[in-house]
Amino acid sequence: MRVLACALGALLGLGFAAGVSAQTYPAKPVRIIVPIAPGSVTDVILRAAAEKINPRFGQNLVIENRPGASGIIGAQACARADADGYTICAVYHNTMSFNPYLFDKLPYDAEKDFEPITRLFFLTEVLAVSAKTDAKTPAELRKLAETQSDKLNFGTLGHGSLPELLVRWMNNQWGTKIAAVPFAGGGPIAQALTTNEIQIGNMGLGNFLGQIEAGNIRPLAVTTAERSKLLPDVPTYKEVGLDGFSAQAWWGLAAPKGTPKAAIDALNAQFVKLFSEPEFRDFLEKRAVAPAATSPAEFAAFLKQDRAGAGKVIEIANQPRQEYKP
């Protein structure tokens, strides 16, 4: 009986310690790995979210940019981090849905290496050109590409990114040879369009708004089903006959597999609350972003569905698999 009592006491002690651990999270700053360049719309949004959440959370959320390779560099760093709740990562359609179809020997497993925290938002994307090009509509862009495609460069986020898949789809549909040029994020692509280093881009509208307003970038079409309130005169992909290429651009948060549920739930609660607040939603909408926060389980279900859809988009774009080489 005495041995049993001691054993029960030890179990109760462990339970009490676990409860205290859950109650005291976070005990130090939490790192958020962002797989895209500083200044891109997602980076701006996550930094703004961290600033709002920090005083409520009791610890700082610290942004660490790890751009490149269609999100692979950031996803790999996150998957290999300690699963203690103090490293999480921003994930998006490429890291979780497209890359598994596009690359052999990925340094992470999109299905097995992560704990979903929440989806955050959908992006309104825009097909745009440098104001120094002659194209003022998608039809004029196609005509230009058919006659001068060797002089047109399209900014992408690397092999397998949605912009590169779009380039391949355009070239397949139009019989052209527009070149894909990789960049580290939407901010650098916007700058390259402004200087005419590249002539075409298709990224989150929030990356381009400032330069559109300045007259340096010309928007041609938005990817959403309806026209954007920010660009009411710009037609949708469907209106201009580009709806044969269809994919949702989204961002969310995940953690290394095995991260304690207490940490997942605490982080989820903070981001879901913030993304439901009218002031922050207004901030997002001004950057052409639609808030779409979810529970961890809802995000997990969404990821399965999105990954299945990614395979169809890749088939349409006729994008071959290749071995990932760091």
Q: What are the pLDDT tens digits along the chain (326 aa)?
A: 444 444 444 444 444 334 335 568 999 999 999 999 998 999 999 999 999 999 999 999 999 999 988 899 999 999 999 999 999 999 999 999 999 999 999 999 999 999 999 999 999 999 999 999 999 999 999 999 999 988 999 999 887 788 999 999 999 889 999 999 999 888 999 999 999 999 999 999 989 999 999 999 999 999 988 899 999 999 999 999 998 887 778 999 999 999 999 999 999 999 999 999 999 999 999 999 999 999 999 999 999 999 988 888 888 788 888 899 88
Closest CA to 207 of 237, 178, 233, 230: 230
Give yes or no: residues 149 and 218 share one domain.
Answer: yes
Residue 67 preceded by cis peptide, ω within 30: no
Distance in Å from the first CA to the final CA of the chain: 60
* Domain CATH for 41: 3.40.190.150
3-state secondary structure 126-163: EEEEECCCCCCCHHHHHHHHHHHHHHCEEEECCCCCHH
Give yes or no: residues 115 and 252 share one domain.
Answer: yes
Euclidean distance between CA atoms 168 and 173, whole angstroms: 9
Structural domain includes residue 11: no
Euclidean distance between CA atoms 107 and 89, whole angstroms: 15
The pLDDT assigned to 155 comes to 97
Q: What DSSP letter does each residue of 235-259 carry, written as one string?
A: PBTTTTT-TTS----EEEEEEETT-
DSSP secondary structure code for residue 196 in this structure: T
Closest CA to 174 of 245, 98, 83, 78: 245
Q: In what order do the strands lie in the sheet with 61-65?
A: 61-65, 30-34, 87-92, 250-256, 114-123, 289-291
Euclidean distance between CA atoms 10 and 226, whole angstroms: 61
Euclidean distance between CA atoms 243 and 256, whole angstroms: 36
Give yes or no: residues 188 and 262 share one domain.
Answer: no
Assign 53 to helix, strand or coil: helix
pTM reported for the whole predicted model? 0.82
Cβ atoms of 54 and 60 closer than 8 Å = yes
The pLDDT assigned to 326 comes to 85
Give yes or no: residues 166 and 98 share one domain.
Answer: no
Which residues pair with residue 47 across a beta bridge?
none
Domain range for 44: 28-123+248-323
Structural domain includes residue 233: no
Euclidean distance between CA atoms 139 and 143, whole angstroms: 6
The pair of structure tokens assigned to 104 is: 């052999």
The pLDDT assigned to 23 comes to 60
Give yes or no: residues 270 and 290 share one domain.
Answer: yes
Structural domain includes residue 6: no
32, containing H or E segment: strand 30-34
Structural domain includes residue 186: yes
Instruction: Provide the number of structural domains found in the chain.
Output: 2
Give yes or no: residues 118 and 60 share one domain.
Answer: yes
Structural domain includes residue 37: yes
Closest CA to 198 of 157, 155, 156: 155
Residue with tokens 């710009």: 234
The pair of structure tokens assigned to 47 is: 């930094």
Give yes or no: residues 131 and 197 share one domain.
Answer: yes
Euclidean distance between CA atoms 295 and 312, whole angstroms: 26
The pLDDT assigned to 161 comes to 86
- 88 backbone dihedrals φ, ψ, rounded to 5°: -130, 175
Task: Classify residue 298 by burial, with Cβ atoms within 10 Å: 0-12, 13-18, 19+.
Answer: middle
Euclidean distance between CA atoms 283 and 274, whole angstroms: 11
Give yes or no: residues 57 and 112 share one domain.
Answer: yes
